[in-house]
Structure 1
Amino acid sequence: MESFETLTVENATAALERGLAAIKDGQTVFDLGCIQSADSSAVAVLLAWQRAARKNGTTLAFTNMPVSLKGLTSLYGVDDFLVDSPADLHHH
């Protein structure tokens, strides 16, 4: 899946669709390191991706989640649902 520098309301639908297609194709790790700007739409997209993956019997791992996006997930109380991959846990 192509990376996004921003994940905001302006491109959330496109990001959602690309991510869902990637999940359908078997992708289970999403590298979020390219995201420089995110808003609450990003949290909604990540949650939708995670729900789709769980519906398919798997769980997604999000790597290199920017601090600003981690802050949003914490603010909305969904940070436990959007867990970083084990490779990133040493950053906590």
Structure 2
Amino acid sequence: MYKLTGEFSQNTARAVEAAGSSMIAQGQFSFDLSGLERIDSAAVAVMIEWQRQADKQNRAMEFHDAPAGLLSLIRLYGLTEQFQLTASAGRH
């Protein structure tokens, strides 16, 4: 599982997207989001791109331990059904 940490925002989106895309190219489709601290809507856009990449390979992305702020953004944009998300018991 690929673990993302730190900021996932407009400031870091390109670098985070590139790192995640590299992992997808290597066959990794399970991402741990528990280490994310600062998130904005750019994170959702990048996740959509990763999902597209996985779809091209007929694979599903799995996003684990999504922080509450990210889950709220995904709900706000009506994308709950777009992603396979899990949240840990302590992060609601």
TM-score, with normalisation over the residues of structure 2? 0.88
Structure 1 vs Structure 2: percent identity of aligned residues?
31
CA RMSD across the alignment: 1.8
TM-score, with normalisation over the residues of structure 1? 0.88
Q: Where do 4+ consecutive residues of structure 1 move more than 4 Å?
A: 89-92
Measured in 1, the distance between the counterparts of 2:84 and 2:72 equals: 13
Higher strand share: 2
Alpha-carbon shift at residue 37 of structure 1 (Å)? 1.2
Report the equivalent of 1:79.
80
Superposition map of 1:1-92 within 5 A:
1=2, 3-84=4-85, 88=86
Q: What runs of 5+ residues in structure 1 fail to find an aligned partner? A: none
**How many positions carry a matched residue from both structures?**
89
Q: What runs of 5+ residues in structure 2 fail to find an aligned partner? A: none
